[in-house]
Amino acid sequence: MFNASLKEIAAALGARKISSVDLTEQFLDRIGRLNGDLNAFITVDRAKSLAQAREADARIARGDAAPLTGIPIAHKDIFCARGWLTSCGSKMLSNFVSPYDAHVIEQFNRAGAVILGKTNMDEFAMGSSNETSFYGPVKNPWDRAFVPGGSSGGSACAIAARLAPGATGTDTGGSIRQPAALSGITGLKPTYGRVSRYGMVAFASSLDQGGAMGKSAEDVALLLNVMAGFDARDSTSLERSPEDFAGALAQPWAGAAAEQPLAGLRIGVAREHFGAGLAADVAEAVRGALAEFERLGASRVDIELPRSELSVPAYYVIAPAEASSNLSRFDGVRYGYRAPEYRDLLDMYCKTRAQGFGAEVKRRILIGTYVLSHGYYDAYYLKAQRIRRLIAEDFARAFSRCDLIMGPTSPTVAFPLGSKVSDPVQMYLNDIYTIPPNLAGLPAMSLPCGFGAGNLPVGLHVVGDYFSEARMLKVAHHFQRATDWHLRAPKGI
């Protein structure tokens, strides 16, 4: 069942060809064999997972199953889960066992899914390579010498290595889509507010968004059906009528014929996405994907996103500013790590934070505190927020001429472990295509579209207008019905 889709697994469970207990044991055994090399999981609790699996089997026997009942799902270790270690990949929370469930976890529990384990991540979701984790770097299953992308690199690796059939992730500036691209899977960041942030440890509150990661658009749609929904405990959660993202996947584009299911679809292609900095192998794979969409009936529209180049500097003012505020709660007083030796309260604060946070987190706290300080707020933070509005306006103009925007997810394929750790600016530039939708609050996804140098995966970036997730998933599904990039697995997996 390791290569089966979520729909196929659900059918097997419903037909009693396999039990949830057997299925969960198979994945747990596989994690036990392979995780030592890949480092995709931080926490696995066999007893807890199998207890949930037994409950799921009883629910299936009663005829009360939902589409994901009995299916084991991996969760990024940023979502609080009752009784589970929730570390955010940090020493600061290395002893924190959550007393409550995040809304996303509650939703999966209601659906009868099994918590397979908590996946590794960049510390507090700060990173693009999954190398800043206190628990060590995650390795790309396509080549263990390369990064899987970040910060949701553990979830991406788990799916690519068939350690989990589906997973959750979070995306602040590309942390679902970039690892999805570098690891050869499908990942979607919904519209800001579509998925509740309650119980999701905050990095940058105006940018963070939970999302779904799977082998295909169909799998992602089934996961999003569970994750999306209003939550009164999250002031940024949006109250909308429920949508069945999986139900309409196979339908053609409005008015299109079966032989050209995407006829009438207008794909916006921004020249800014194909300029300097884009590797030739990535550009070739993305252009091949665009040609496939044209064969399916879509048409290309040239658009401009002139402020795209400002997205990285704006993001690295706004996100650290919000992080410096959010991470002030980790002080060693109420929960988490506390320095073992200190003179007084101030000394405890200083030593706890100095010892508990890693280098990248400290860097962003310092930047954020600086740009919010007296005399610099207007020069940096306020100006970055104005640029953010201009970027959103660029997207609005583009969507008046097209239905979806497509281009590369990442400027290169996966890069070697350790190659960019000492150069933060080069690391930050990996997110140049994924950051703008976060600044605008738009939904965006990455899907496999080919391979580049070293036989490493390439991702196609798809951006939609607000609340167009169903449209994006339908288009991605038709592309995946016509191609097999999403079915490819790393050698030996």
User: What phi, psi does 171 have (nearest 5°)?
Assistant: -140, 115
* DSSP line for 236-287: T--------TTTTTTSPSTT-BTTBTTTT-EEEEEGGGGSTT--HHHHHHHH
Count CA within 13 A, CB hemisphere, residue 91: 16
Angle between helices 217-227 and 103-111 (to 10 degrees): 110
Quick check: 488 and 448 in contact, CB under 8 A? yes
Quick check: 146 and 79 in contact, CB under 8 A? no
175 catalytic per annotation: yes
205 catalytic per annotation: no
Pairwise CA distance, residues 303 & 183, whole Å:
29
What is the C-alpha R_g of the chain? 21
**Ramachandran region, residue 126 (left: φ > 0; alpha: ψ -120 to 50; beta: rest):** beta
Sheet holding 186-189, edge to edge: 41-43, 114-119, 72-76, 166-171, 209-214, 186-189, 444-451, 457-464, 404-408, 266-270, 299-303
400 catalytic per annotation: no
Please tell me which residue in 128, 152, 155, 175 is annotated as part of the active site.
175
Closest by CA to 11, choosing from 50, 60, 73, is 60
Please tell me which residue in 19, 76, 324, 474 is annotated as part of the active site.
76
* DSSP line for 411-432: SSS--BTTSSTT-HHHHHGGGT
Please tell me which residue in 90, 151, 308, 410 is annotated as part of the active site.
151
Quick check: 479 and 150 in contact, CB under 8 A? no
Cβ burial of 64 (10 Å; 0-12, 13-18, 19+) is: exposed
Question: How many CB atoms within 10 Å of residue 427?
Answer: 21
Which sequence positions are flagged as catalytic?
76, 151, 175
